[in-house]
Amino acid sequence: METLSMTDTPSKADTLWNQYLQAKAAEDALASSQAASEAAKQDKFAEEGISNTSSPTGPTVDVKSGVAVVRSISKKARKDAKKALSNKLGSDKVSDKEGSSSKFLKMAASQGHSSAMVIMGNQSMSLCRDRTSPIHVRKTSALQALKWWENSKHKEGWYNAGHAYYDGIPGVLDKDETKALELFVKAAEEGDVDAMFFVGVREGDVEVVRRAMYGGHADAAHWVALWEYGEGEDGGGDVNAFRVNLLKAAEMGSGDAMGLVGQCYFNGTDGFGKDEGKAMEWWRKGCEGGHGDSCVNVGALMYNGWRGGGVDRRGAFEMYQRGGEMGCKEGWRNAAACLAEGEGVEKCERTAKYIVDTMLKEK
């Protein structure tokens, strides 16, 4: 039998981390089982015609306008390298009841386990962002989060700390773009593709952005495609490279790229043959991926009719509203027009006015 050398012996931090993972898996399994049991109970109530809940499950209804208006928090399309803060590596939720997994997590982090330290940072930042907490508690939590992240020596921790400094938190944490860039560079050097994308775009270094693309970053592939087209080495742009990289970005899941692929197919430009069917296909994919403009384009084809399908005003209205919910003002503008004219939906000028006065109001 092969004997373990001293270097093969798990450290105390690793042992605690493994105990955390086991405890967390058990807690998650229990929560899943309880949720399934509750769902089965609700199904039984439904079969018997009994309601076991008093809270509405549908869209919020605006009483004044008499129409359901969904007020979902939209995904904002990422502009260049600016990206909303998202904590990586593990849950950032803090439970009211501390289970055994939380205890093991804290112990692993205190022993210097990098992944545990990142999660502890995520949880501290979650407390910091709770606006119901006193400001001094939020400030303390922010400092704790940054300490955990920066000391983790983990690319995810450096990335999270970088975004915290880059975005800042009003009244809690001042912006510090210099510090943010230092941390993003550290994360990029350790292989974090989001950090590579940020640094590459910020510094105008296409090779760094390419590395992010090769690492599977969809928006990096989209950025490279646009660079190839407008600023390629030949000065006039490389349409073939643009097409290849744009399709790659779309296939990797970039909503912006899906929308642009659809536009190119619709117009038959930039290396793409004119094909309304493929345009519709890519716009549908973009819409499913959260790209509001793609939803509106699907709606426009439905409204006017297209070679692959007839006119569908009801479907058009629904797509316009969906695009609006994703942050596309053109979607709300078209939805309001449909309501005002009664096209694809029951005519309601009051609701149309409500949309114009709220969703389309300049901030």
Model confidence over 68-93: pLDDT tens digits? 222 222 223 334 444 433 456 555 55
Under 8 Å between Cβ of 218 and 247: no
Q: How does pLDDT run across 153-191, given as a tens digit for each residue?
A: 999 999 999 999 999 999 999 999 999 999 999 999 999
* Contact call for residues 198 and 169 (beta carbons, < 8 A): no
Would you state the structure tokens that stand for residue 248, as one six-digit string? 């790659």
Q: Residue 282 corresponds to which amino acid?
A: W
- State which amino acid sits at residue 265: Y
User: Does the pLDDT of residue 63 top 60, yes or no?
Assistant: no
Question: How far apart are the C-alpha atoms of 254 and 66, rounded to whole Å?
Answer: 37
In contact, 256 and 219? CB cutoff 8 Å: yes
What is the predicted pLDDT for the residue at 66?
25
Residues 6 or more apart whose CB falls under 8 angstroms from that of 50 comprise: none
Instruction: State the burial class of residue 219 (Cβ atoms within 10 Å of its Cβ: 0-12, 13-18, 19+).
Output: buried
CA nearest neighbour of 283 among 267, 263, 268, 269: 263
Domain boundaries, the chain: 86-92+100-189, 292-363
292-363 under CATH 3.30.450.20, yes or no: no
Report strand pairing: 61-62 vs 67-68. Answer: antiparallel
**Residue 30: per-residue pLDDT:** 86
Q: What angle do CA 74, 262, 248 make, to 5 degrees?
A: 90
Closest CA to 279 of 296, 259, 293: 259
Q: How many helices (H) and strands (E) does the chain have?
A: 16, 2
Total-model pTM: 0.73
The candidate with the shortest Cα–Cα distance to 161, out of 208, 204, 128, 206, is 128
231-257 average pLDDT score: 83
What digits encode the pLDDT tens for the residues 276-308? Answer: 999 999 999 999 999 999 999 999 999 998 877
pLDDT at res. 38: 79
Hey, what long-range contacts does 338-341 have (CB within 8 A, 24 or more apart)? 338/313
